[in-house]
Amino acid sequence: MRREEIRVCVLRVGGTNCDAETKRAFTDLGVKSEILHVNELVKHRNLLDYQVLVFPGGFSYGDYVRAGAIWARWILAKMGKELKCFVEEGRLILGICNGFQVLVEAGLLPGFDGISSYPEAALATNSPPGYNCRWVYLKQETNGKCIFTCNIPENKVLRMPVAHSEGRFVFAKDKEKLYLERLLENGQLVFRYCNKNGEYANGRFPINPNGSFHDIAGICNPEGTVFGLMPHPERAYYWWQHPNWTRQKQMPQYGDGKLIFESVIEYLTKNF
């Protein structure tokens, strides 16, 4: 598939944000990207016209009940069959921040045995509590299993911003050990919080900005086609989005976030 044939749908509902930045990142790489209100997708039943579906950041439906919970149940009720088909065909789904919360609430992640009828994990209130907006370091943990990081060398340290109140990734206490083992065995653990030298946070704030279990910042499904992360790659796409860009003597054009979008496009051009 040629780049200009690739179609990306960035969803929008009340309370979402960064949809324009996400669209721009994909468009900059030469693909057809559009922002679509989810009602339009339901109305026209055209989800399978796209190769990539993106749930962007924000606070969908005010994050009432739990972050991402309302949107997750709504889209499963309205488009559950289409979404299941989308995943089974190996098309790609990206969830950023609130989008990650939606994918977990909808049972698409971690998806150990396919789409689950109940959430197998949660993105709970930050510890320490409160809205946290800061730049963090992430360590790439997979060896190419996750399509969204297939262009990023294993153990590479990236820098991106987080901005959330409910980003603490957790499993049920009685399943922590089992589910962590499954993540590791399946190559589903994609990003962990670390310092600039690549040393894991081990839960220390603010290196781990929300208290996530095992410093988890992003995971994928067993096939590597569904990916969710709390940091915002679209806010680290261009170098001038970086907090200290004015102090750099030699300024590159792009930031680390571009690597994620590039990985998606390269995979699609080779495999679709």
pLDDT tens readout for residues 17-51: 999 999 999 999 999 999 999 999 999 999 999 99
Domain carrying residue 37: 3-271
Predicted TM-score (pTM) of the model is 0.97
Q: Using N-to-C axis directions, what is the helix angle for 69-88 and 98-105, rounded to 10°? A: 70
Residue 67 CB neighbours (<10 A):
29
pLDDT at 68: 96
Residue from 166, 220, 234, 242 carrying the catalytic annotation: 234
Tell me which H or E stretch contains 160: strand 157-164
Report the distance separating Cα 36 and Cα 110, nearest Å.
26
Give residue 228's identity as a one-letter amino acid code: G
DSSP alpha helix (H) spans, the chain = 19-28, 38-44, 69-88, 98-105, 176-186, 258-271
Q: What is the pLDDT averaged over residues 223-230?
A: 98
Tens-place pLDDT, residues 61-107: 999 989 999 999 999 999 999 999 999 999 999 999 999 999 999 99
Encode pLDDT of 161-173 as tens digits. 999 999 999 999 9
Q: What pLDDT is recorded for position 251? A: 65
Q: How many domains does the chain have?
A: 1
Q: What is the pLDDT of residues 112-130, one digit of tens each?
A: 999 999 999 999 999 999 9
Distances (CA, A) of 270 to 2, 65, 91, 252, 263: 9, 41, 13, 27, 11
25 Cβ neighbours under 8 A, 6+ residues apart: 233, 234, 237, 257, 258, 261
3-state secondary structure of 258: helix
Which CATH number covers residue 225?
3.40.50.880
Active site residue 234: yes
Catalytic residue among 9, 18, 21, 97: 97
Whose CA is closest to 157, among 203, 208, 198, 215? 198
- Please identify which of the residues 164, 214, 232, 242 carries the catalytic annotation: 232
